[in-house]
Every structure is written in structure tokens, then in C-alpha cells.
Chains A and B, each alone.
Chain A
Amino acid sequence: MNDLSASSRITYGAVPLQPGLVRRVRGLSDKALAWLFITPTIVLLLAINIFPLVWTIYLSFTNYRANRSNAPVKWLGIDWYQTILTDPDIWAAMQVTAHFVFWTVVIETVLGFGLAFLIDKKFRGHGMWTTIILLPMMLSPAVVGNFWTFLYQPQIGLFNYVVAFVTGRSASSFQMLGDVTLSPWAIVIVDAWMWTPYVMLICLAGLRSIPDYIYEAAEVDRASKWRQFWSITLPMALPFIMLAVLFRGIENFKMFDMVNLLTGGGPGSTTEVASITLKRAAFESWRTGYSSAFAIILFVTVFGLANIYVKALNRVKSR
């Protein structure tokens, strides 16, 4: 039986392929076939990623408003960028974001590395403990937001009762989500609770990648455990820690869902991170051109950080 007759009987599901089609596909070069397969992906990527980005860049130079789509669109140049970059309110939102990013990254890194260091020691039931520690990371941010809103309730919330039990003050005497001093820390606590396991996983991968013979050589040289930690463990796990720091930094810079569910940016604007300011400008004030410019500023920042992240990732890969 020759190849053509064999291929003419090829079926896709219940539909037999036409011999003419098979012959035409066979006539294509490898490069043409590769293009044939990759074209739908490229078209999809252009349609849902590149086009909206280019369109947002265009809108950021105009006075377009999505709720007045028939109004004439006026070209404003870089006016919105100048407005945003000289606005003290946006600067304040950036500082709220900085507080959130800095403290979540610090807490998650310290706790995550500490947990990874403990879990890396083989002990009875360490697999079970790893699974339990990883549970918060597997939940949806929407679920976590609602769940912690109940935990932070001054009347019935478990968090207030635990704090009251430890400190001795009344459980209903403070509101984590309603107090201007406490609410920035309330969102930090929730993010740290949810994402410390992720940092732990990355650090654990770093710790497990250190070969045992290095520790054995250090033991032979009579290096203390403290010296082994500072001279072997920490330097060799550092690229992985850097990776976790960058990844969490980028993710928290963009944080929206959890903060929106917990506080919605309040009380006042004490937890109004950049993405919440952006959402308010875009979908409450309907300043589409302005919010597009703001989105581009945030995008360039995240893109710049992502470049550093990829560089760190390549360094880890090359190890």
C-alpha cells in the first residue's frame, strides 16, 4: 500500500480528510507548516494583548471618555502624563503602594525563608505540614478577601479575639479595616498570610538545590552551623530569594482584587493602592484617557521590573 492511499483514509474524528487536502498539506515545507500552526496563536495574541496595549497608548494621548464615546476626541499629547506625574494625590497612592509592597515582601521573605529552612530539615510528618502551610496559597483572592473581612469583624471576628486574648484589651475596641492606622497593616497581614507559602516553596527549591557535599566539606573544616548558614546556605539560596522578592514585588505592585474586597481603598484613601486609584479614575470618574496614561505608567514600571526578574531567572537557570 503506498503512502497516498494510506493518508487518504486518515480521518479526523468521524470526518474523513479529503485526499486533495492531504496532498496540499503534504506539499507545504516544514517552515510553512510551522507558520500554519503558529498563526492562530499569533493572531489571538495580537487581538487580545498587543491591540489593547497599542489602543491604550493611543487613548492616553487623548481626552476620550468611555461613557461619551460619540463625543469628539481631542489629541492632548503628553498632558495626562504631566498631570499624573505632578499630582500629589497620585504620589500619595504610590506611597500607599510602596508601604504595601515593601512590608509584604519583607514579611513574606523572612517568614517564607524561615519556614523553608525548617521544612528542609527532615522530620516526622514534614510532608503533611508542607501541605497545610501551602493551603492559603491555593485559595482564590476573592475567597481570602471575604474570609478575612469576617475574621477582622470587631464584634464576631476571630482576629480581634486572638489579639484581645494576647494583649488583654477589649476585642471590640479596635477595627482593623476601619482604622486609618491599622487598615494598611490589615491588608499587609492578609497578603503575607496568603503568599508566604509561595515564597517558602521557592526558597525550599533553592535550599534543596545545595549539594550535600558542600556541607560535608564544611563539617570536615569544623565550620559551625552558624558559619555554614552564612557562608553556604544563604549565598547559594540567594538567587532563589531574589526571584521570590521580585515576583512578589511585581504581583503586589499590581495588587487589586484582595485590597478592593477588604477595604475598597478606605478608610479615606489610606489603603488606596495605585490599581484602585486607576479603577476609580477609569470606571467611576470615566476619565478614560487619563486612566490610560496612568495604566501605561504602571505598565512600564512592571515591564521594567519584569526585565530584572527575567535576568534573575536566567541566573538561577544557569546554576
Chain B
Amino acid sequence: MSLDAHTPMPGRSLADRILRRGPLEAIATTIIAAGVVMLMQPVSLTLYSWSFATTLFGTVLFTIVSKVRE
């Protein structure tokens, strides 16, 4: 049986596989983008009201996860 990059390594937990920089940065980036869209959308004032909190949370998350190991 051959092992490729996508094969889960034995002994690595689910948390180990998820808590890496790549996926976490992708999550943070998505939250930031959602915050920016909420800030500028013309549909809902409630979404606009929560946009800053969302962007701030995404930015703080991005700053933290960019220090996590690859």
C-alpha cells in the first residue's frame, strides 16, 4: 500500500490534523471576508451591525493562527 500526502498518518489525532496553520488560516480568512461582505452589503442593518465584531474576530484569529506550526 502506498502512502500519499492525503493519507492520515497513524497515531495523529483529528485535532492534530485540523489544528495546523493551513486550515486555521483558511477559516480565519473566510471569517474576515464574511465580515467585510457584512459591512458593505445593502440587505440587512443587523448584518452590518455585526460586521465589525466578525472582522475583528477573524483578524485576531488570523494573527494567532499564523503563529501555529505548519
Residues of A within 8 A of B (CB): 81, 85-86, 88, 91, 94-95, 97-98, 101, 297, 300-301, 303-305, 307-308, 311
Cβ contact within 8 Å between B55 and A304: yes
Main secondary structure of the interface of B (DSSP, over half): helix
Cβ contact within 8 Å between A304 and B62: yes
Cβ contact within 8 Å between A304 and B25: no
Residue from B40, B51, B55, B59 having most chain A Cβ neighbours under 10 A: B40
Cβ contact within 8 Å between B55 and A88: no
Q: Which of B29, B48, B52, B56 contacts A307 (CB 8 A)?
A: B29
Residue from A86, A94, A300 having most chain B Cβ neighbours under 10 A: A300
Cβ contact within 8 Å between B52 and A85: yes
Contacts of B36 in A (CB 8 A): 301, 304-305
Residues of B within 8 A of A (CB): 25, 28-29, 32-33, 35-36, 39-42, 45, 48-49, 51-52, 55-56, 58-59, 62-63, 66
Q: How far is the CB of A246 from chain B (nearest CB, A)?
A: 11
Cβ contact within 8 Å between B62 and A307: yes
- Bound-state CA distance A91–B52 (Å) is 12
Q: Which of B41, B49, B58, B66 contacts A304 (CB 8 A)?
A: B58
Contacts of A95 in B (CB 8 A): 40, 42
Cβ contact within 8 Å between A311 and B48: no
Cβ contact within 8 Å between A300 and B56: yes
Q: How far is the CB of A71 from chain B (nearest CB, A)?
A: 28
State whether A300 and B48 are in contact (beta carbons under 8 Å apart), knowing that A305-B32, A305-B36, A311-B25 are contacts in the complex.
no
